[in-house]
């Protein structure tokens, strides 16, 4: 798959038109959809109309930005005006947003071409994209395996070459874990750097939108387009957005890299461990100073997350009651009956499980024991990271404890499914930026991801480290044979 810069050059040179690029992406997507099932909906007319506008600008001699004419996939939990947004749930099957999310609005202004809405675990709750109410997305490297979740459709679409870049959302690893399992680059920005206006909420203090791509440079370009202050999001940070591509340098002289010791223990697959250790040795060769760093409360991230996130989900998903919008169970004889039947039929098993966990954790008599205690542990996890960043610039660890597992393998065991996010969750709890990039393969030919974590708003250091590693290796050039 060509890069954003390559396509931009082709458009400026008039080697190809934006319409041709869009048609090619749509054609490839249609050909691969029966195998991959990455998309819930293709937006063909919309894409061609956007491409036509880009061509008109070029014909008129106007300057176009780097993203103009670039095919992009959007996770189906970001509101797109006039285009259905389902969140992978039956309860929103016929929901057509009357407004545009900030990120998709910014992309439209930049001239990017939306080819479709990608599949996800229902309401972004899951680690395998098997919780979607509509279809199970396949991993492009092995069609019998999952692409990870919850942004599995967005990761598979980029890995399979259906679009150049895509957007996902990350609440506990939902960008980085599928990026690791699909062998692409995925970045969760600092909490508040990218507006959440128009992102359908799962856990509001954790959710963050970010990019998927085939290269660190494309990630930097896409992040620059979606980042920045938005008055419509009360958690949005008032910060200047730099040109992230200026930090992409090929050596790491003077960069201090901390290896999180707690992530190399029990539960980590031996092949993943070996490949990640080799990647860390490569960082050292590039001039980085490597040191071991202990984040003693890192392992409490998982239980803390599974109290905080379901509690917030329980509150956020209360709005789906069959009254204002979305699915309503017909023929109910009273209001309570309508609420319960609508929610019973509209939500899938995992969403119901998390709503019940959250409602229990917030209930009288349990609030202090669970939710309040989880918030205190969250602060301790954050303090561990703060202490670590006093002595290093970035932290590294595996993205996921294993490579992609087979579809159906963990569906009956929610706890083993939750363990897939062991390495990614603490980053969300602390609001930090984290990136996964390909660093090798296991013996089955499945991708392995290296996670690079930065301090608050230090996306520049994360991208610099990732770029230097990427340029010194060939992993990002490998593509699945579809």
Average pLDDT, the chain: 97
Q: Is residue 260 part of a domain?
A: no
Query: Does 1 have pLDDT greater than 80?
Result: no
Residue 461 inside a domain? The answer is yes
Q: Which domain holds residue 196?
A: 4-255+392-477
Task: Please identify which of the residues 127, 166, 174, 236 carries the catalytic annotation.
Answer: 174
Mean pLDDT of 228-234: 98
Domain count for the chain: 1
Is residue 331 in some structural domain?
A: no
Give the per-residue pLDDT at 328: 94
Q: How many CB atoms lie within 10 A of CB 34?
A: 7
In a domain, 356, yes or no: no
Tell me the pTM.
0.97
pLDDT tens per residue, range 268-311: 999 999 999 999 999 999 999 999 999 999 999 999 999 999 99
Average pLDDT over residues 111-132: 98
Assigned domain for 302 exists: no
Known active-site residue 373: no
Quick one: pLDDT band at residue 234, thresholds 50, 70, 90?
Answer: very high
Q: Is 75 a catalytic residue?
A: yes
The yes-or-no verdict on residue 362 having pLDDT over 80 is yes
- Say if residue 376's pLDDT is above 70: yes
Residue 414's pLDDT is what?
A: 87
For the chain, percent of residues with pLDDT exceeding 70? 100
- pLDDT at residue 22 in the model: 98
Among residues 99, 120, 101, 109, the alpha carbon closest in space to that of 41 is found at 120
Q: Is the pLDDT of residue 123 over 90?
A: yes
Residue with tokens 């870049």: 165
Q: Select which of 17, 38, 75, 188 is catalytic.
A: 75
Q: Is 420 a catalytic residue?
A: no
Which pLDDT belongs to residue 331?
87
- Which of 38, 150, 213, 311 is catalytic? The answer is 150
Using 50, 70 and 90 to split pLDDT, how confident is the model at 390?
A: very high
Does 282 map to a domain? Answer: no
Say how far apart CA 405 and CA 420 lie, in whole Å. 10
Q: What is the CATH number of the domain that holds 76?
A: 3.90.1300.10
Q: Mean pLDDT over residues 94-102, rounded? A: 96
3-state secondary structure labels for all residues of the chain: CCCHHHHHHHHHCCCCCHHHHHHHHHHHHHHHHHHHCCEEEECHHHHHHHHHHHHHHHHCCCCCCCCCCCEEEEECCECECCECCCCCCHHHCCCCCCCCCHHHHHHHHHCCEEEEEECCCHHHCCCCCCCCCCCCCCECCECCECCCCCCHHHHHHHHCCCCCEEEEEECCCCCHHHHHHHCCEEEECCCCCECCCCECCCCCCCCEEEEEECCHHHHHHHHHHHECCCCCCCCCCCCCCCCHHHHCCCCCCCCEEEEEHHHHCCCCCHHHHHHHHHHHHHHHHCCCEEEEECCCCHHHHHHHHHHHHHHHHHHHHHHCCCCCCCCCCCCCCCHHHHHHHHHHHHCCHHHHHHHHHHHHHHCCCCCHHHHHHHHHHHHHHHHHHHHHCCCCCEEEEECCCCCCCECCCCCCCHHHHHHHHCCCHHHHHCCCCEEEEEEEECCCCCEEEEEEEECCCCHHHHHHHHHHHHHHCCHHHCCCCC
Q: Is the pLDDT of residue 125 over 70?
A: yes
Is residue 53 situated within a structural domain?
A: yes
pLDDT (tens digit, 9 = 90+) per residue, 2-52?
Answer: 899 999 999 999 999 999 999 999 999 999 999 999 999 999 999 999 999
Q: Do the domain assignments include residue 309? A: no
Look at residue 359 and tell me whether its pLDDT is greater than 90: yes
Of 194 and 413, the one with more pLDDT: 194
The pLDDT value recorded for residue 266 is 86
Q: Does the structure show a pLDDT above 80 at 264?
A: yes
- Give the residue-averaged pLDDT of 227-249: 98
Q: Using one digit for the tens of pLDDT, what is the confidence trace for 440-454?
A: 999 999 999 999 999
pLDDT, one tens digit per residue, over 311-357 is 999 999 999 999 988 999 998 899 999 999 999 999 999 999 999 99
């Amino acid at each position: 798959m060509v890069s954003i810069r390559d396509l931009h050059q082709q458009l400026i040179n008039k080697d190809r038109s934006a319409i041709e690029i869009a048609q090619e992406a749509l054609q490839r997507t249609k050909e691969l959809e029966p195998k991959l099932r990455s998309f819930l909906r293709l937006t063909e007319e919309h894409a061609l109309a956007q491409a036509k506008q880009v061509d008109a600008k070029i014909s008129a001699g106007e300057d176009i930005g780097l993203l103009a004419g670039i095919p992009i996939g959007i996770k189906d939990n970001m509101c797109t005006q006039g285009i259905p947004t389902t969140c992978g749930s039956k309860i929103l099957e016929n929901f057509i947003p009357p407004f545009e999310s900030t990120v998709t609005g910014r992309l439209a202004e930049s001239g990017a071409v939306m080819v479709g809405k990608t599949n996800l675990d229902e309401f972004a709750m899951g680690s395998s994209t098997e919780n979607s109410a509509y279809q199970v997305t396949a991993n492009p490297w092995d069609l019998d395996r999952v692409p990870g979740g919850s942004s599995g459709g967005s990761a598979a679409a980029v890995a399979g070459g259906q679009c150049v870049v895509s957007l996902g959302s990350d609440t506990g690893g939902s960008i980085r874990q599928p990026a690791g399992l699909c062998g692409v680059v995925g970045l969760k920005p600092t909490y508040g750097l990218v507006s959440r206006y128009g992102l359908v909420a799962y856990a509001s203090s954790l959710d963050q939108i970010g990019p998927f791509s085939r290269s660190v440079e494309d990630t930097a370009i896409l992040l620059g387009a979606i980042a920045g202050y938005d008055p419509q999001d009360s958690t949005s940070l008032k910060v200047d957005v730099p040109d992230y591509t200026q930090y992409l340098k090929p050596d790491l002289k003077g960069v201090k890299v901390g290896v999180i010791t707690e992530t190399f223990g029990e539960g980590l697959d031996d092949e993943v461990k070996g490949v990640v250790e080799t990647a860390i040795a490569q960082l050292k060769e590039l001039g980085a100073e490597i040191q071991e760093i202990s984040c003693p409360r890192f392992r409490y991230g998982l239980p803390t997350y599974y109290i905080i996130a379901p509690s917030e989900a329980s509150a956020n998903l209360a709005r789906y009651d069959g009254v204002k919008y979305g699915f309503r169970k017909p023929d109910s004889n009273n209001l309570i009956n309508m609420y319960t039947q609508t929610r019973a039929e509209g939500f899938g098993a995992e969403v119901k499980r998390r709503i019940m966990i959250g409602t229990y954790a917030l209930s009288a008599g349990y609030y202090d024991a669970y939710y309040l205690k989880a918030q205190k542990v969250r602060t301790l996890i954050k303090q561990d990271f703060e202490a670590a960043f006093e002595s290093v610039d970035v932290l590294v660890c595996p993205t996921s404890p294993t490579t992609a597992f087979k579809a159906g393998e963990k569906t009956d065991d929610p706890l083993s499914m939750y363990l897939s996010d062991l390495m990614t969750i603490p980053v969300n709890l602390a609001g930090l930026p984290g990136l996964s990039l390909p660093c090798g393969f296991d013996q089955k030919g499945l991708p392995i991801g290296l996670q690079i974590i930065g301090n608050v708003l230090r996306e520049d250091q994360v991208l610099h480290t990732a770029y230097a590693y990427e340029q010194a290796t060939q992993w990002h050039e490998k593509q699945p044979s579809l």
